[in-house]
Structure 1
Amino acid sequence: MVAILDQAFAGIATAKANAEQNLKNARALFESHLQSVFTERGEGWVEKKLGDICSITSRLVDPRKDNFIDLIHVGAGNIESKKGCFVDLKTAREEGLISGKFLFDKSMVLYSKIRPYLMKVARPDFNGLCSADMYPLMPFPNEITRDYLFHLLLCKSFTDYAVQGSARAGMPKVNREYLFEYRSWLPDLKNQVQFTLQFDTLHKETQHLESIYQRKLTALDDLKKSLLNQAFSGNL
């Protein structure tokens, strides 16, 4: 029985290592494509500071007031790292919020300034409230599209910049002044739209592959547990 288990576990370990590598490769492909575009300097591209292409216009509001208590609240924990997906969203009422929150709307990009290496960025399709530890960024429509800004904030060069400027005792955090000093080369709006279509298509395909490999990893873990249970119950 021991020999059978050893052989089975060796096969599971190999399959798991392959799935984990495929998962890394899928993520690396998308990140590499983003980086190749955002470090490019195409013809007619213009270098801009982040503060020249977007701003923070939101005001802090009391989430206990009638106008805001039933709005969805987004904190850093509600955004999946690197994916831009929302999870476990609740209203201000459901969370029992009492401290001030930023108002945001569907024209903005949400960026978590806490632990920037987690790359928590999102494009809400609803109006709501966000934590004071997030920046609700309003893109200037004549400078950058919302979708292009979203992907810019996910690229490696921006993340490296944010991480470098967030080193401090305790919780790493990117301050507003430092954030807006980041520089990037931008194509015109027409090309931004074209690049965004590429990014979104590749992002969707990458997430699909990640989902497949993650399910495979879960299935392999379940298989190992099942074999152990069968071994201990004498069914092998």
Structure 2
Amino acid sequence: MMHLTIDETHHLDPLLRVCIVDTSAIVDERPAEMQRLSDALACLHTEGILAYWQAPHPRLGVESILIGAESHSLIEQAQNRLINEMLFALSFDGAGTLYRATFDAPFEHEVRFVRQAPGAERFAIVRVRVEPSFTADRLQCLSYVEREQIALEFQCDALRGFQDTLFCAGYRGVPVVGVNVLLVGGVEHLVDSRPGNFYSAGRLAAGHMLEHGRLRYLEPE
């Protein structure tokens, strides 16, 4: 099984982001999927986006991908493309059968991630909508929120939390694909909001939708 975790912004440069990748179970057994990821990295390089493998972590034994570009929006685009490539690889079982799930109907949910207490301030309100896109091997994340409501950084964090949940947890262990994820509303607080608050709110929204939305398994391929 392949796992991907999007780390916080790189500590040396705000325009770098680290993706922690656990590919230990497929490096030898599934070279085709690894080649697909390598090809995706090569494509990003041709577009002027920094994206390359880093050596395995000495303690965790997992690899990571470092992504860097001239703007946060380019980083998000590159990150989404890599996640989709990994989602495709993750969807296979050991016998090479592709298992996936998708939403059958649109679903919208609002999460109020609010706690204002001394030393524990947090404030994030997000409204997320999922719509079937009939694109079987992709998960598209978009933002329709005015920047005056939520800073662009927080919008990206909310969508990242939502996407990570659909990708890593999935529907009963199966990745969710073929969905447009729309951030359609939300509120930030000038003092108490943090990027992690919106990331958590996105994850909570995704968890609620996985539990209460109308999902179905796609036919194995």
Q: Shorter-normalised TM-score: what interval?
A: under 0.3
Question: Which structure is higher in RCO with an 8 Å CA cutoff and minimum separation 6?
Answer: 1
TM-score relative to the length of structure 1: 0.24
Instruction: Give the structure with the larger helix fraction.
Output: 1
Give the TM-score of the pair, scaled to structure 2.
Answer: 0.25
Q: As a proportion of its length, which structure holds more strand?
A: 2
